[in-house]
Structure 1
Amino acid sequence: MPLQTTVCERCDQSADNLVQTTDGQRICLACRDYCYLQCGTCSGWHHEEDRCANGCPCECGDCGYCDDAGTSFDGLVRPYDYRPRPVFHGTGPLFLGPEIEVEIGDGDPYRCAEIASNGLGKLGYLKHDDSLTCGFEMVTHPMSYDWALEHFPWDLLGRLRASGCITSEATGIHVHLSKAGFSSDAHKYRWMKFIYRNEPQVLRVARRHAPGWAAFRDEDRRAVKRYVKDNYYGDKYRAINTNNLHTFELRIFAGSLDPQVIKAAFAFSAASVEYTRTLDFAAVAAGGWTWPAFTDWLDDQPRYTPLAGQLEALACAC
């Protein structure tokens, strides 16, 4: 819980609210989000290079692959709270940071992790995820949409399938969108309203309804204006997770190892932001927040062909 005090003990800057770490430091929220991690056991905060000072075990300690270094699969899969400094790829302002969850199925765990790690290279890394029985999530550094279409290692997905990796009802694709990619608070508001107002169509694009992992809630619809102004440090298991300081996390998509499906998820994430960028009051009054208005706009946007193709396949372009 934030503490009312004045000076951050890490950056020596004044702050309205400070957070106490597990080793007793008082730090500002900016420092916390930049280089501190939240323990999954006690919920305390500790520096990313240190273990929790409360003596909590590694989050993956009972998965069968954990070692003393805090990683799994012989060092290929990082703990869930691993968070390196981001490396940006492409040209903004909007950057996407996908998390693609994979179950190992009947494959060899180490071999599958090795294939994924080598395939991602410096673009990303693997992390443990508690929601998976035996698997990992592939996380990339931030990418612009166009850069991702051209440079993401799409052939990796087929190699993972051939090695025994699968997706299931427990797996999902989460796409982080950089808040700096929005033109204003009003733009953030329009985007979130568009997502919430079109829940049935968005769920069809996402290919799943997962209230346990990505819930659409009435209270979130009503609180959009507050989420735009302030980060909301609460339940992350919502359609749009607003907890992060620098990103919105769109958690809606079903897991997949199909390149076209993942491209469509990237395309919807980017297209929904661009569509709402210039949506003014007159356009909204004329039905601009509706799904047909969005798909009409999409018809003139060849950049987002992967999404248009999926909408057609789902018979959702209405």
Structure 2
Amino acid sequence: MPASTLVEPLCSDCSRPLTATTVTTIEGERLCPDCTTDVGVCHGCDEPTRTLHPTTAATLLCARCVSGWTPCADCADYTRDIRTLLDGRPGRHDRSVCESCVDSYATCDDCGHRTTETFRVEGGDDVCRICCEDDYHECAECYTLISYNDTYCENCSPVEHDAVHSYDYKPSPVFHGDGPLFLGLELEIKTPERRFEDAVDTAVDHIGELAYLKEDSSIHPCGFELVTHPMSHEYARTRFPWQLLNRLRLLGCYTDTDVGIHVHLSRAGFDSPVHIYRWLKFIYRNEIPITTLARRSSSWAVFSKDARSSVIHYAHGDRYADRYEAVNVRPPATFELRIFASSLQPQQVQAALAFAAGSVEYTRRLTPADIARYRGWEWTAFTTWLRGRPEYSPLLAELEDLACAS
């Protein structure tokens, strides 16, 4: 007879023959007594196992008994009562924690959910990221989070006056003087809070029906934007109440780097798309002297490469562009020249209007021969042209003051 081929059972760990005293775990391991030191007993099924999972109920369960439970992302204990924390960041998942750990997280005062982080909003409430991004934004002046329906927080809210209209106020234009070119002046002015009412009353008394006052988010903490109806350059030069600027300065009104002058030029004041092209080309080719004249180089009035290369398209009516270019081409009836720093000095404001009008008239008759033979695009050619035209004398005087008259 052949010898027996039965295999003697061995310990799953040490491979020694098993005795009558063995332990079989729920994972199917058969262990000798020496190899059971790390074997525990599941509190759920009372079966031996090497893998026990702590729970929030202060028990240890095997993998089979813990099925359907969820590990807490904070303490790692398994629980049947999982709580979800909002995260809201792109690419991030909401966080699941147990009932004990959830108490260490704040509750959003808007939606009532627990959240991984909160943001303090005006009034003292704390909101989750999702509610913050959906319903709040920063105050136009400071970093306080306010409702999307508001522009300023309570501390930064500008002083109000019945004669200062909202930022979106736009009455029907009333034209003053003879065209074809009409100019619309937007002059941003800051005032001391205690003199705001006096400044508004003074401005209203002087401008009459020629202009109106508006709010503007760039004017803070207190002030207004003076906006004229369309004027010819001659009318602006001779009929605008220039003494108003000195009166406002005497009241303590001022300008700084936050505010500017914008001049709208009527599209109807150009002869043709070719004329528009010549004018835009002249503006963008002379960035250095023009920003010197404007007394600023601003991110609100950029001389960008894209705008310069798109001049031909703008001349033919393309209005798809960034509004914060040196020339904003988006308005349907005007071009908005945005380059100038604001001022309460009459000569500087007059120079802004004179440059707007003068640059249009200079390029109106500019011929290819002027450009080829006499370097018509160049600043010197323009300033030479100005010298024989006294209606632009404030501009020439300002250029000489700024040492860029040639």
AA partner of residue 231 (structure 2): M
| C-alpha spacing 1:239/1:107, structure 2 compared with 1 (3 Å) | farther
Alpha-carbon distance in 1 for matches of 2:206, 2:320? 34
Does the 8 Å contact 1:60/1:79 carry over to 2?
no
Report matched runs for 1:1-318 at 5 Å.
57=149, 59=151, 64-65=157-158, 73-105=160-192, 107-133=194-220, 134-210=222-298, 212-286=299-373, 287-318=375-406
Alpha-carbon distance in 2 for matches of 1:260, 1:302? 14
| C-alpha spacing 1:222/1:88, structure 2 compared with 1 (3 Å) | same
Alpha-carbon distance in 1 for matches of 2:206, 2:180? 27
AA partner of residue 178 (structure 1): S
State the secondary structure of the residue aligned to 1:153.
Answer: coil
CA offset at residue 136 of structure 1? Answer: 1.0
Give deviations 1:283-307, integer Å, cap 9, x for gaps: 1112111111111111111111111
Considering Cα pairs closer than 8 Å and 6+ residues apart, tell me whether 1 or 2 has the greater RCO. Answer: 1
Does the 8 Å contact 1:190/1:276 carry over to 2?
yes
Which stretch shifts more, 185-194 or 156-165?
Answer: 156-165
- How many pairs does the alignment contain? 258
Give deviations 1:264-286, integer Å, cap 9, x for gaps: 11111110000000111111112
Does the 8 Å contact 1:59/1:80 carry over to 2?
no
State the secondary structure of the residue aligned to 2:209.
Answer: helix
TM-score normalised by the chain length of structure 1 = 0.77
Question: Where does structure 2 lack aligned partners over 5 or more consecutive residues?
Answer: 1-134, 136-146
Does the 8 Å contact 1:106/1:165 carry over to 2?
no
AA partner of residue 203 (structure 2): A
AA partner of residue 219 (structure 1): D
Aligned-residue CA RMSD (Å):
1.9
AA partner of residue 262 (structure 1): V
CA offset at residue 104 of structure 1? Answer: 0.9
Q: Using the aligned pairs only, state the percent identity.
A: 50
AA partner of residue 366 (structure 2): L
AA partner of residue 381 (structure 2): A
Does the 8 Å contact 1:107/1:164 carry over to 2?
no
Alpha-carbon distance in 1 for matches of 2:300, 2:310? 19
Give deviations 1:204-245, integer Å, cap 9, x for gaps: 1111111x2111100000001111222424421110000100
CA offset at residue 121 of structure 1? Answer: 1.2
State the secondary structure of the residue aligned to 2:397.
Answer: helix
Does the 8 Å contact 1:58/1:79 carry over to 2?
no
Which residue in the other structure is 1:32 paired with?
A: none
CA offset at residue 117 of structure 1? Answer: 2.0
Alpha-carbon distance in 1 for matches of 2:164, 2:152? 10
| C-alpha spacing 1:105/1:269, structure 2 compared with 1 (3 Å) | same
TM-score normalised by the chain length of structure 2 = 0.61
| C-alpha spacing 1:80/1:193, structure 2 compared with 1 (3 Å) | same
Give deviations 1:34-65, integer Å, cap 9, x for gaps: xxxxxxxx9xxxxxxxxxxxx97365685535
User: Relative to total residues, which structure has the larger helix share, 1 or 2?
Assistant: 1
Alpha-carbon distance in 1 for matches of 2:398, 2:270? 25
AA partner of residue 306 (structure 2): E
Alpha-carbon distance in 2 for matches of 1:59, 1:145? 35
Alpha-carbon distance in 2 for matches of 1:200, 1:297? 19
Does the 8 Å contact 1:106/1:164 carry over to 2?
no
Larger CA Rg, structure 1 vs 2: 2
Alpha-carbon distance in 1 for matches of 2:363, 2:151? 39
CA offset at residue 106 of structure 1? Answer: 5.5
Alpha-carbon distance in 1 for matches of 2:285, 2:321? 22
Does the 8 Å contact 1:73/1:113 carry over to 2?
no
Which stretch shifts more, 292-301 or 181-190?
Answer: 292-301
| C-alpha spacing 1:247/1:58, structure 2 compared with 1 (3 Å) | farther
Alpha-carbon distance in 1 for matches of 2:153, 2:208? 26
Alpha-carbon distance in 1 for matches of 2:340, 2:219? 16
AA partner of residue 57 (structure 1): N
